[in-house]
Structure 1
Amino acid sequence: MSCRFPGVHNPDEFWRLLRDGKSTIGTFPGHRAEGPHRTSHPDAATVNAGSFLDSVDGFDAEFFGTAPAEAAAMDPVQRLGLELAWEAVEDARMPASALAGRESDVVVGAAPSGYELLRKLSGSDREDHYAALGSSGALIANRVSHLLDLRGMSFCADSGQSSSLVSLALACERIRSGAVDTALAGGVHLIVDPEAGLGLANLGALSPDGTCFPFDARANGFVRGEGGAFVLLKRLDLAVADGDHIYAVVRGWGVASAGASSRMPDPSPGAQAAAVLAALRCADVAFDDVDYVEAHGTGTRLGDPAELAGLREVFRETGRSRPLTIGSVKANVGHLEPAAGIVGLVKAALCLDRARLVPQPNFRTPNPAVPDFPADFEVLPAARPWPGAPGRTLRAGVSAVGMGGTTAHVVLEQAPERDRAELRTRDEESTSTGALAVVPWVLSARSEPALREQAARLRELVAADTSLSAADVGHSLVSTRSSFAHRAVVLGGGREEALAGLELLAAGGDTARTVRGVATEPAGPVVFVFPGQGSQWLGMGRRLYAESEVFARAIDACGRALEPWLDWSLADLVTGAQAAPSPADGDAVVQPALFAMMVSLARLWRSLGVVPDAVVGHSQGEIAAACVSGALSLRDAARIVALRSRALTELAGLGGMTAVAAPRAWVEDRLEQWSGRLCVATVNGPASVVISGDPEPLDEFAALAARDGVRVRRLDVAYASHSHQVERIRDQVLEAAAGVSPRRTAVEFHSTVTGGALDTRLLGGSYWYDNLRSTVRFGEVVETLMRERGGVFVEVSPHPVLRVAMEETADALANAPVVVSTLHRDDGSAGEVLASLAELHVRGVPVDWRAVFAAHRPRRIALPTYAFQRRRYWLTAPDDTAMTDPGPTGHTSEAGPGTRTARLDSESAVLDLVCAETAVLLSVRDADLTGPDLVARSIETFKDLGFDSPTAVGLRNRLTAAAGVRLPATVAFTYPTPQRLARHLFSLLEPTTPDEPRTADGPAPESRSDDDLYALIDRGYV
């Protein structure tokens, strides 16, 4: 559910208002009185009393993807409807994308706000491209359907003051019929000009006291109210199955018309009784089982007695044996007219959800027009628990009555006990399964200010409720909220650390545990990169094996695949168990262990939604890459790595490898003197090379490099991979890979042997010898991928050994790809993986955050709704709605509403006019913009200033009216800056000879051809 009233922004705040018996009724805010002119009508005080929102001109156009001009043209009831619909979906604890594309209805009750009069007085109705869309009542529902991509019925109902409850009944009927299984029903009401209520005052419906007294002896009319509410309806069995929070169940509904039974607008007790009886039949419940009715309760002299007479008729028809508790929310928030029914329904649902009845404001003495009132009715002076025996189902009715005689009634009952019991069990389980060591709190918004406010709202909520666990908050953020471009991930080691991170984020700051970014569409593939040796460390999988079931299962699977060729436990080694061998025990241990780590880490990445489009392996890392891509089975890959690493032990002590921080050309130039004894083993990046060969030449090369100031480092490897020495074990390596059956796979395999993409069916026996003997062309492959494809590069290893080289390659490119690692020898925990996952997420890579919480059975809790960043979008009526002044050429020109004539006797005066009128049109986007501001920017194009085609037409209309000359619709694009347009306009105002064309800077507008216009369209101006 969602709701909005003065000072009330959500159902929780509404509940506090109801529980405390408070009211939002006051007077029309003075700062809003800029619409149509006020009068001295004797009922002015009456219509200015009501429940009015402080402002209705604000709207987050960016969030809703609305152009500024369109936002200003939209009736504010449309804007409010969009916000409330979005908030209702968020309150349902589901991302909006969960509804997209579904056959879901949107039904809304609404009425005109009076904005159309303002549109006419402002003159925008003559030039407003969006006026038709902005004024249509149907567009309230249609815009919601468009926003959420809902494909069911989209309908705006008008049955007067019962509109929103009739809408809800229609939605329920559609769900019951099987046409849809979800629907949004709501109602909105705004009052642009209070004096539009004079008709109601003349009718005697409004309270001259400015107070609403439902059921009271003082009842003399209602006061009008602004705001609205939306509810998301879902088929009950689906809601229970999905574990949704259910406020209440709509058990039955009925709609009836007064027909000719009473004189319009007098209420009809018979019609109201008929609607209640129809709802009871639909619900299949007895009236005796209904404890409370949220009545229409307008507090009018005729309305309350008629409604209670109708309820007494239901008493007689059903044989009810006990008094009925009644109430009316109109004493709290005023009469929201078309939205009144849905507001009453939200109140009743909150009461059922909390099993508590609330007091009725302004009730002192029963209305004497209702004989023997206490015999049948009770009005509560204070809040109290809902009466009834334990285990008894609580029920309430809700009524709404239209002035034309259409009455709707709905029967609600509390959520099923089974549902509440399941939720309690789920809550208990969620608190008993242990906590994550690092919990990600994922936030997003459409703008940076909104992101900061989201953080502030979340911190306020969590700080105020110590029962909320960090895991519950994290799970709810990723499972119930939509993801937008501006993103942040706060990684907390606990609740307090996360709260501190939110506080800094809200203030615009950062911590080392906060990852921020603006997501874009990922440009290029996700590339998994698997290094060779060097990333191993003792106990490299210990923490992750304990923290991640996915990783642990993958290690165990690798252990089973390696078992035929190992005499030690893989799980013991990667977890650092005492009985296990150490990575220092040789390559026959290191390479199988690293292979298993990399394959298992890749499995973990996949479980988090990060799936490779391509793989790149470095030396032995190609075996893991082939396995992860699906080209080799786990058993085949395990055999190759185990037997090949065993063969390598024969080379121990015969050679070595040295890392050189220099370009390949520099290294190769100096290796010539050791030809046949040293070679380039790997090229990792622009200035990262490894050489391989005999020990003595390696020492001599190191001395030479030191004299040239080049850094070198001897690697902790006892043999010379990728050198002539590998030829000694050729037969053993070919035997290790004999009989493998490589498969074709959808994941691209970029070979560092061949230097490019390779058909994975070629990864047979001889390839794995070439992989060990040839130069590793890693830097070349990565540079080509980054330059041609962009992409995201994930180093899948227990410690990043290639990330620096990849970052150096990326830094040389105009659009540097994203590069992340997995674990680090200083931190082998899941928290390190989550930090890299956050880096990918904030840059737009699809990830699955829900998988992080899957094993902990957390709750979906209520979170703050979106922090809309509203700006003013409003049509303004001028002080004088029509005026006639002498025109610049001495004649009188009639200017339309909102325009003016001016003395245009110089080019600078014309420029002032153009800039002033431009500022008026752009003020819907920037309220502080003035004509003098634009004079200083008059060489900027209208397009750069924010014009689109409708705005250009609007400027043409205003200049035509002000200057009294004919201008084409495309004049702002033909003369694309204010300066050039002013020069052209001034040329049209100057006296000319009969044969002289009235034009400047180009042909006269009248002579511009269709081809010219199409050229402007092609260039994007029109």
Structure 2
Amino acid sequence: PTELAEMLPRQLLMLQVAGQALGDAGLKNDDLLFTGVFVGAGLDLHATNFSFRWSIEKMAPLWAQQLGLDLTPGQMQQWVEQLRAAAGPALTANRTMGALGSIVASRIAKEFRIGGPSFTLSSEENSGLRALEVGVRALQEGSINRALVGAVDMAGDLRAVLGRHAATPYSRQGKARPFDKQADGSIIGEGAAAVVLKRLEDAQQDGDRIYAVIRGAGTAIGGPSGQFVPDRETYTLALQRTFQDSGVSPAEVSYLETEGSGLPELDAMEANALGDFFGAEANDMPCYVGSVKADVGHLGAASGLASLVKTALCLDRQIIPPLRNVDAVRYEWIRGKRDFIVPAAAQYWLRNRAEGPRKAVVSSFAVDGSCSHVLLEASEEKGRQRPSLLQQRPLGPRREALFCLEADDHDGLLAQGRRLKMLLAEFDGDVMEPLAALWLHEAGSQPEKEQCIALVAPDRATLQAEIEQLETVLRSPDELPPGLRDRIFYSVQPLGRDGEIAFIFPGSGNHFAGMGQELSTQWPQIYRQQDASSRYLARQFLPKHFWRPTLADSLHGDHNALVIGQVALGTAVSDLVRSFGVEPQAVSGYSLGESAGLFSLGAWTDRDGMAERLAASSLFVDDLAGDCKAAAKTWKLSSKQRVDWALGLVDAPQQAVRKALEGLDRVYLLIINTYDECVVGGDRGQLDQLVARLGCHLLPLKGVTTVHCDVAKQVAGPYRALHLFPATPPAGVRYYCTALGDSYEVTDQSAADAILNQAIDTVDYTRVVEKLYADGVRLFLEMGPGNSCSRMINGILNGRPHLARAVTYPGQDAVSLLLRLLGQCLAERVPVDLAALYPADRVDTTEASAIKQIFTQVGGTGFDPGAPPEGKPQPGATTAATPAATPAVMGPGQKLPRTELLAGEPLQTPASADPVIARFEQVSRQNLETHAAYLKFSESLSQAITENMTLQMNLLEKMVATGTPVPELAVAVPAAPIQEPAPAVSSQASTPQVQRHRMKLHLPEPQFDREMCMQFAIGSIAKMLGPEFAPVDNHPTRVRLPDEPLMLVDRIMTVEGE
């Protein structure tokens, strides 16, 4: 269809994105009579291409003079036509319509039969958010029931790039680095965004999927004229307007989607304004900072709405995104009573449910001095079922994957390997998770098989190498290449058939930066479940402390944070492992790990209560840590003496340590780790003496309190009360106490006693591990953080069949570690639910069909038609070479070659598989048929009008003949005199003679002639309207008439108003 072929690319893009938004909202086939369309867009520079074509007629004589050409009028006209052909296509009716500013909204309304208001708004970079604001107001006043809000810009046009670069420079590094010390601007971006708005009560009643709730929106405009940097007062005023009617405090906001321009002066203004506004009230929850420009670049008029879409998705998927490309923050983002964090990696959006839904603010400002903000809130409504894949995989498919080969003998395993190799050869891609899901779908899960080889691969090359090593694995696993030894798992005598599983929880001092952060984004459903059962989950995981690139030195002294943070991680990792069907028969903890084990398996459930007790207790503030008052009391120190407590690992057996402790009363044997390693601690001076007597090395430990010795007896009562909770042990699980070196029956009192007893005396970890082994445990899975217990268990059980492996520890990819643990469990024939890892509904078994695509050219080669040879232009000549035929519809895998289209050549647009484009083509064909019918109707109508006019003239003649007075007519005519022909006289005798009277014409003078109209268009408004309007000439933009050749206003007759 011609309309589609001649449509501007930006309008086509907006049409497609709008269709996708309506489809996502389930509105494609709904009645949209009371729906409005509001699109934010700036000037489409493609609409100005015709202006250059028109200017050629004026410019050609000048060019000819500069080139020394002496052309006849005929040659000049030929050359002008040649130049016009090279400059671009001629203006047609469709192209004229397409160049109108509001047509992009009208096309959407027409295509989807939307009956409400439809128009386009422009406010530079704020265009999208201003369109959103108009849509919100229309919904609030009740004039519409839905609003489709969009924004689009193809800001990569060289003209737009140069214009923006002159005002707000782009980055010369080619990276957008908001708030970074190396920031020097943004990068070029293009695109469109669209959202569907409804009143909240309507969306809830209709069961719609709600991404976010708009709680407020505000805009302010200010700053000096001609200044491209909005001032801080305007930015803050817009924030105040956003919050004034929302009922929300700025302290409740936990994410700021900023403008993030990457220009130092703009970043400084924004950082200071946001820091002061959101840091005025205290809140223990940090506020995270982001910017979409670091992800997709500067999208021009669509940038504000793109920020809103990103933030709405983050609220819906409960993910805090990273701010990319930030290596060294220029602004610390610490203002007043609140912490501001620039996240280096994605993380689950933790919150305290008791404090209400998650909230975020989207900010944008434009070169016209306008600033806009939108306050968003997460929806607590379940609504229409969300796609499980997006909820469970918010970051997309995982690159690394687990493959399980199961059989009863070696030949069967090798046959499975050959099948997997064939599947790999047919697989197109390097992300392994889709292939793993397909393999599980084809091979199935067969836990009853005797043997298993599990492969963990991050890419196809590694998987290929692992398959080639299968025979080596079966023959001699020790011969495997070092890089594959912890990726290929096979057990000659699997432990899982008869051996039991124990979940192991480590003690204090194993915390590390980012612990659990990656797992929270890869398996967010675990954290959602915990959020549903905890009112203050964020206070337990403490992301502002632990989910950072590095840990602050002060954190090692915050023992309350270390305790609750480690316990929280243990519960999350335990829940994650159990979600794959791996269940323990025994639970054992090392020091703090005993509490973590009780919470993780549900024997204790009041985690909020533990956090509250810790916050109110002095035990880990200055009794057993900090000033160590319990130690001072035990050692009977004076008020002026201070405790200098230190501890660490020594590579010496307990017998040697006990002997060396003789005569030292302020240093203790705290824990017996293995048969040749212990933890010792106490007064630093006596600790140095002990190490000297042992003649061994001391590895200092941080974050550990004065427990596992007589010192803790000073606070035995409060310590036991802290750990006294209602207990409901899970069925089929044995709990072990390190103080007893044995399992015990868990009750309210026995659990509190077990925790207290291990705190006031030396812990012998070897004894409890030996007991676990004697009771049948062969697989020791450490829930983390760290792998300290796995290391000790391997030392204690050295030489005996067992598996000790940790789920998460520093320095390794968290997803890879979990997959390797599951893979090793499979190899040991522990039942693992791989369907939970790769559900069947995510497997695409259909063959990919060739999807037709329509391509439209954006931009082109420079205008360089050349001069006529020897001063004589060649008729019909063109300077552009005719390109080879290139199909506009291309199949998958084909690349679009670079083409040079002849100017004026129509764009051939075949049918498209895109549903929006296909629908548009259908409507266009229907329009053509309708238009043909209209032309036929118009022809008959013209004939009827002619006959009617003849009848009226006959009646007029009869009136004159009978003496009936005829009224005089006053008509406005051009100022130039009119040469009228002499009155015609009828030659028919039967027709009365009619005397033709000249009509009296009143010719009032125009208030503004064409010269004044041109002043309004391209000149001074003061010259037209008077000196009182002179200030308007200083505005950077104002309402104007168009310049030539679109200037169709010849005069203005009257103006009314003040």
TM-score by length of 1: 0.39
Larger radius of gyration: 2
TM-score by length of 2: 0.37
